[in-house]
Chain A
Amino acid sequence: MYAFDFHRPTTLRQAVSLLAKSEDAKLLAGGHSLIPVMKLRLASPRTLIDLSQIQELTGVELKGRSLVIGAMTRHRDVANSPIVQEAMPGLAAVPASIGDPHVRNRGTIGGSIANNDPNADYPAACLGLGATIITNKRKIPADEFFTGLFETALEPDEIITKVSFPITRKCAYEKFKHPASGFALVGVFVAKRGSEVRVAVTGAGASGVFRVPSFEEALKKRFAPKSLEGLSISPEGLASDIHASAEYRAHLVGVMARRATAKAVAYG
């Protein structure tokens, strides 16, 4: 690890101002992606701004027909939240499936989606539920937020404050874990809310999380695993490596989508 300046603001205002005036600064959320790459000397930010002491960034609340989760809320706290478990057990299962207890005790929803690792779980939940990402400056729909591998719509001086999920019980996540890392080799989040159906896939895409319109159409007609039988996605544009070819990933998208749909039906 190289030397860096460390700040630990207690308000969002302070954090925003530090971010604006510091050169080459990185926000520190849970640190489970950033710290390892710094230790390996693969990243060398000049400044770290630790968000952990900003009270207004944590917590889970129901607001009308939405579930709003503070950006610095830890995976463990979302997974164990009675509010989330009651309103959307399919969403609570997402952070519950991330990493191991150490990771869940440190990692945060804001950190996960800001990093937009192509194998991360939360991006699928955000896209699958049509969440809104709220920052210090604006509200960004999930469909516009995730722009590519480790890329988001966030501007350099922007900090995620909250993520707002429209409530539906009919949603679920199914993931096939990478044999080594435990990340999603393929993860599929399926949700039905009113007449809208969304199917979002993480892990498989060569450029990050994506939706599957053909699956959504099929599930709109009838929200059941059977509706997806015989449907598949093209391996084109999917990631391919020693652990899974694009073809295998494409196949797994179908399998995980059917399983997630079955779960969502059971929840709903």
Chain B
Amino acid sequence: MTGTGIGAAVRRKEDLRFITGRGHYTDDISRPGQAYACFLRSPHAHARIRSIDTSAAANLPGVLAVLTGAELQADKIGNLICGWMIHSKDGSPMKMAPHPALAVGKVCYVGDPVAVVVAETLPQAKDAAEKIVVDYEVLPAVADPAKAKEGPQIHEVAPRNTIYEWALGDKAATDAAFASARHVTRLDIVNNRLAPNALEPRAAIGEYDAGSDSFTLWNTTQNPHVARLVISAFVGLAPEHKLRVIAPDVGGGFGSKIFIYPEEVVALWASKRVGRPVKWTCDRSEAFLADAHGRDHVTHAEMAFDDKGKIVGLRVHTIANLGAYMSTFSSSIPTYLYATLLSGQYAIPHIYCEVDAVYTNTVPVDAYRGAGRPEATFVVERLVEVGARELGIDPPELRRRNFIKSFPHQTPVIMTYDAGDYEASLRKALEIADYKNFPKRKRESARRGKLRGIGFSTYIEACGIAPSQAVGSLGAGVGLWESAEVRVNPTGSVEVLTGSHSHGQGHETTFAQLVSDRLGIPIENVSVIHGDTDKVQFGMGTYGSRSGAVGMSAIAKALDKVEAKAKKVASHLLEAAEGDIEFKDGKFIVSGTDKSATWADVALHAYIAHKFSGQELEPGLKEGAFYDPTNFTFPAGCHICEVEVDPDTGEVTIVGWTAVDDFGVVINPMIVEGQVHGGIAQGVGQALLEHAVYNSDGQLVTGSLMDYAMPRAGNLPSYKVDMTVTRCPSNPLGVKGCGEAGAIAAPAAVINAVTDAVGVEDIPMPATPQAVWSAIRSRAQPRQAA
């Protein structure tokens, strides 16, 4: 290994440009002749559009076009789609309602795009948007998923606003396990709705080139190839080979930039209509209304225990809010990314989960950091913690009794866990958190008038998404492999083209580390190229902590091929049999001799091709690979949160955080630690601060950062982050993925700690000071008899 190889805490190559303001984000790009788009959005949650009068707007100075759903239909622009088919228990397919990029006939949420103005300047576009007159017939709306089935019907295709009623597991066996259980723990859980709030808002520039009849889209996307595929194959704007999608530097995604949104489709379409590049940049207020939100589950869950504290069954019923339309991957989040993880780290013999997905008059809900797995972890880890309290068993001990201890382990909910050592991460975390002295600390807090609590979360996630055949059998419309190409230049420097996309993950560094490690060349000699469909052949993008396990595995596979080819070149150069060539530390050596050639020598000779005939060996040194994983990966670990609660105000202060994660082999511990830090911050945000609230009329109450509370540095403690390592057997690098772990583990750890401190289980997320104060009061004032 060189000092920049696998396992080295190499500083991020990309940070210089980001920190010094030299990044190139979509909004930094300006095209010659560029015009600006402004969307007119619905102020109503649910309304029929009687008419739209665009004449006043169209006559304003600078206005190039005012377009509505009518023009969209006239141009035969197709609808946006959800790409994962889910079938209900009764076998019927999910009810996917049409989702035009601009409203046709009705609007279904506040923020639903109704029209777009394209003008010479943004202020002109905004002025004109205000002059569009829309005659709405306001309809009753429903925003609460628990009330959706009884609410006004939003789409013709979906009676009772029900998209699907899906189930996983063996109901009869699970019911039988409950019937014979010694104890049942029951919880009603609301997994609060979140607004993603990436630092860089979404943006798009559409450009049509009449000369070549082709389109280019610069877009804040986590998966440019999937965007191209959907926009060509489903929206039908352009054939795939006539559409180039470029995702330049992207400032955070957290899932919200996976999806194909109306705005980029409209920017592309409008660019052809007006014959000018069209730029749209979302502002923060608009982002709250228009970015897909996350979570929003209403769940009843029950866990059954035997007399030894062994879990014998788990029953879960969840209502999942998918919003007004089905976003790109929305159907899979509360199903195959949720219910399949309900076994947690535990050997649970019987699990049955029902999920009802519903339409509401809210912005669509889709994947958000963790996507289904935080919701599953919250259900399991709250049940285990509360179960331990009810049974009078130390929470870590109850977990230990139920841990899966041998691998591979088949859960009753599809997944086959390949490797892990849950006891090891728990043990290490308890040590670091100094659990045995917690009672002493609790007494010390009490002396200062504070309530101290401790909470655990021994989480699991399924990452490295995903084996294509497996997800295909579950309804996915795409394969989830990854592709890579390794291009060795004649001077020996290397370009890696990857279908993964970096929007904060540090791929330019970690992927280069892999190459440096394998080829023994300096990391500076490696470039990582991503995010352009004209450069990279294909890719499935970055989400679900997949870029290490899947994306890097594709690179490793391509590197194997490069090495094999280079050995052939070296055998000619060194005049030795191919079988005698060894490649080590960046050198090709003829076994048992002192004859060798450097990497650069071999690269040069691959291209000048003087030492071999083109008949025996092709010149050049460039290899590509597609890697399809054999299984999901299963990162897991133990997070311990310690809080102090001010009983006078209900304010929660996190005073300690221990994270011991098993991510398998770690490529760059510094970057991994950063991912853990950020993930925990987002999880703490969900647990204590963040909540996207719609009122009963479907108006977004938390439409700005004045009302939507984001976590700040002051809300977070200094974390103690450590790791245990079990190698992942399901990919060549042994990696599991780390991007979502913190967000998955944290909410349960926080709420377990807060409920421990207060002594009341019924505390909602976010556990705001008001909510905690109310809980404390409910404890102080014994309930009066009815």
Contacts and interface: CB of A to CB of B under 8 A. Distances in A.
B681 to A, nearest CB: 15
The majority secondary structure among interface residues of chain A is loop
Interface in A213-266: 242-245, 248, 251-252, 255
A40 B285 contact: yes
Contacts of A176: 649, 651, 769
A179 interface: yes
A251 B701 CA distance: 24
Interface stretch (B64-72, B327-335, B475-483, B705-713): B705-713
Contact of B768 (A1, A179, A183, A251): A179
A245 B707 contact: no
Nearest to A248: B770
Contacts of A180: 689, 702, 705-710
A195 interface: no
A243 B707 contact: yes
Contacts of A183: 706
B773 interface: yes
B410 interface: no
Interface in B746-778: 768-770, 773-774
A1 to B, nearest CB: 8
Interface in A148-192: 176, 179-181, 183
Given A41-B126, A255-B648, A255-B649, A179 B769 contact: yes
B773 A181 contact: no
Given A180-B706, A180-B707, A180-B709, A245 B770 contact: yes
Contacts of B649: 176, 252, 255
Contacts of B514: none
A108 to B, nearest CB: 20
Contacts of A40: 285
Interface residues of A, number: 16
Contact of A179 (B285, B648, B701, B709): B709
Secondary structure dominating the interface of B: loop
Given A40-B285, A176-B649, A242-B701, A251 B707 contact: no
Given A41-B126, A179-B689, A180-B707, A244 B285 contact: no
Contacts of B130: 41
Interface in B688-736: 689, 691, 693, 701-702, 705-710
B726 to A, nearest CB: 39
Contacts of B691: 242
Contact of B707 (A1, A41, A242, A255): A242
Nearest to B707: A180
A245 B770 CA distance: 8
Contact of B702 (A1, A242, A244): A242
Contacts of A244: 770
**Which of A1, A41, A242, A244 has the most chain B CB atoms inside 10 A of its CB?**
A242
Interface in A18-72: 40-41
B41 to A, nearest CB: 14
A221 to B, nearest CB: 23
Given A41-B126, A176-B649, A179-B689, A251 B773 contact: yes
Interface string B109-146: 00000000000000100100010000000000000000
B701 A248 contact: no
A164 to B, nearest CB: 32
A14 to B, nearest CB: 30
A116 B769 CA distance: 26
The 5 closest A-B pairs by CB, nearest first: A180-B709, A179-B709, A181-B706, A255-B648, A248-B770
8 contacts: A41-B126, A179-B768, A180-B710, A181-B705, A242-B702, A245-B770, A248-B773, A255-B648
Interface of B: 123, 126, 130, 285, 648-649, 651, 689, 691, 693, 701-702, 705-710, 768-770, 773-774
Given A41-B126, A180-B710, A251-B773, 8 more contacts: A176-B769, A179-B769, A180-B708, A181-B706, A242-B691, A242-B701, A242-B707, A255-B648
